[in-house]
Structure 1
Amino acid sequence: MKAKHLHPLAFVLDFYRQLKNMVAFALAILFFFHFAWWEWALLFLAMVVWSILSFWMKTYELTETELIYRSGVLERQVRHLPYHKIQNIHRKQWFFLQPFHLEDIAVDSGGEGGQEKSDFPLRCANVGSAGP
């Protein structure tokens, strides 16, 4: 199977998560620095460009023996998970993803290194044949 990109709605969800994480940073910048409106616009534009690059670099591939997840912009990561090492598959479907037959899937290998090392987050994966 050829490597696939995540659904475009995954970009919206990832951008929302990044925006939430940047609120504290933006408040600190607002408190210590006095930027002009165009500097704030430039920071926001840089965040949008970074989000687009990050989204574009995330791909997954299902082979006959393993799941391959590629991510990262500056530091490219390729993670291989053989099917026999999969312990859990967590599925979550938000109400606004239902019409598109999409859901968030996290594949857990139960390996060492904590939650971020052992999970493969496939946000907005297509679960139905009628989806885009």
Structure 2
Amino acid sequence: MELIFLTPPTLPQAFFDSLEDLPRRTPNPPPPQPLFESIKHLENQTPPLLAMEPPLPPLLPQLPPLPPQLSPIGPNNPFPMLTHEMFCDHCQRTKVIVDNLWDEICFILNYIIDRLNVLAHNY
């Protein structure tokens, strides 16, 4: 088995026959442990003063709940009740309009592409 390990591009590539041929790496040293004296020193210090925060504002008085909004009922209602059939009919008409609009957009874009092709071949 032949292993190739990356080296900087200015140096030739190193070839190793096995993992044992690799240079030894030193493991990460353990993090420094606090000394007993420093712990005792911290223990004897007074804690720092905390920044005082302003007190919370008083709660607002409880207001009575708003009455539910009633929909206008009667002959003067400008918004008649929407039935399921009316909704489906509206969705179908909207889909027809969107489909027609999509066809128009595709036609216009194809026309623009044709004109650009003509211009590209003429110049």
In the superposition, the TM-score normalised over structure 2's length comes to: 0.23
Larger Rg: 2
Q: Whose relative contact order is higher, 1 or 2, with alpha carbons under 8 Å and at least 6 apart?
A: 1
In the superposition, the TM-score normalised over structure 1's length comes to: 0.22
